Amino acid sequence: MASSLHHLRVRVLLLLVALCLVLVSGASAWPSWPWRGASAGGRHDYRDALSKCILFFEGQRSGRLPASQRAAWRGDSGESDGRAAGADLEGGYYDAGDNVKFGFPMAFTTTMLAWSVLEFGDDMPREERRHAEDAVRWGTDYLLKTLAHPGVIFMQVGDPWKDHKCWERPEDMDTARTVYNVSAGRPGSEVAGETAAALAAASMVFRDGGDREYAELLLANAKKAFEFADTYRGAYSDDPDLRAGGCPFYCDFDGYQDELLWGAAWLRRASGEDAFQEYIQINGKTLGAEDNSNEFGWDNKHAGLNVLVSKEFIDGEALTMQSYKESADTFVCTLIPESSSPHIEYTPGGMIYKPGGSNMQHVTSISFLLLTYAKYLDKTSHTVNCGDISVGPDTLRLQAKKQVDYLLGDNPMKMSYMVGYGDRYPQRIHHRGSSLPSIKSHPERMGCKDGTPYYDSSSSNPNPLVGAVVGGPGEDDVYEDDRADFRKSEPTTYINAPLVGVLAYFVGNPDPGHVKH
């Protein structure tokens, strides 16, 4: 009997080993499947990740820092920004690892922070929601300043070419703080339209939070920015002087038309006014609303626009918006490997991948749209039809979860791409302030080239920018942790902003198979 049991155990063990070998060999047969390569280990601490994700924005602050500043290694910077142009442009955020304030991505960052709070704020612990609202306000306070002078909208502070020749702390900046603005003669509808979207979205955050006076101020200025964008139509990158400052860093590659629709959509949601819905209906076709795109980020708003506008159709409040629901469905189907649609590319480890660098911006923004669309679909019987298959909200949530889990460490490198989260994360991020001695520990001024030895060093950054999500690995899932490789190692505000909402959702719903309705 004992001998028979022994042989049975051996046979079972051999079968298990064979099954494992089949699964391992089969993994390479499905390189584009987005759920492969993820660890089946313990759950992630989404609350810790959310806290760190929001804290990151304090490390990106420009201007005089408040007493509540938690990223204590930072100091005041850019206090005289705008003065040469007769304006007060103190505040706002540095976009990435440099010391320039680019208005276009900053406005998008603010929109996504606000949208994160609007959709998933109820899943945030109370303290984290307060910090998230502080991050929104730091952006909107600055954006209001960019609209404070009649006839112009200030879109940028800092000469990026001179800034990028230096490796110095923001507290020591001695490069030209050149001010760029758009006007009737030099239009910038994408900047103005995104500013309108940011202020409109944020107005709802503060209205819900009880600060109605500030909310009304934001909404009034959102309408002002939108009117400017629509009246003086054009792209800032078509103007030689503005192009010299904004390109190639944040050139308007996809045109300004999507920002006009995006701004109108947010004003419709924030104000409830029919005029903005009519604007979308009348102008949608001429402004490219039918241009399906599986991209969403600081430059291209189409996928986000379709998800946002489709809400009213799904809720049964605007049946004329059916085409936006159909376009949102088309976007979702490109993410489902089983569908017959052309697919977004995935790395062998399962990460959404788009060529061009700073890839995590696609991971976080697309994951946000998946969760938001799933939320909208949840309230009705609507599903997504992808050829022969029908996709429901739970599938979208699982897609998003696999992406965020990859980011947090379930990947071939077994590495978190958020600084400070997990046991292994990037140590040498491409970020001036993080890589140089803090002004608190090294108060002596460091000039333009004084930081070069630190840039060239293989040592870890002395000031961890906690919560920063780097651009991430390439199409082969490899990450070298090289400060000089900015496409992979540089964090940006617009990577983190949508991730705030994604992480908040998973704080409240860590298992997408058992969703709280």
Contact by Cβ (8 Å): 494, 56: no
**Which tokens belong to 512?**
């997408």
* C-alpha neighbours within 13 Å on the C-beta side of residue 129: 17
With tokens 């239009």, the residue in question is 187
> Whats the size of the chain, residue-wise?
517
Beta bridge partners of 156: 102, 180
CA nearest to 37, candidates 330, 353, 339: 353
Map tokens 């994408």 to a residue. Answer: 190
Location of structure tokens 């955020």: 93
β-partners of residue 386 are 389
Please report which helix (H) or strand (E) contains residue 271, including its range: helix 257-271
Any long-range contacts for 447-453 (C-beta under 8 Å, 24+ apart)? 447/168, 447/172, 447/174, 448/165, 448/166, 448/167, 448/168, 448/174, 448/175, 449/166, 449/167, 450/168, 451/166, 451/167, 451/168, 451/169, 452/167
Do strands 179-183 and 152-157 pair parallel, antiparallel, or not at all (unpaired)?
antiparallel
Does residue 163 contact residue 98 with C-beta atoms inside 8 Å? Answer: yes
Distance of alpha carbon 11 from alpha carbon 243, whole angstroms: 70
Strands 179-183 and 345-346, by their bridges, are unpaired
Spatial distance between the Cα atoms of 511 and 509, rounded to a whole number of angstroms? 5
Report d(CA 515, CA 379) in Å as an integer: 13
In this structure, the number of other CB atoms found within 10 A of the CB of residue 322 comes to: 12
Measured between alpha carbons, how far is residue 441 from residues 47, 427, 445 in Å?
31, 19, 11
Active site residues: 98, 430, 481, 490
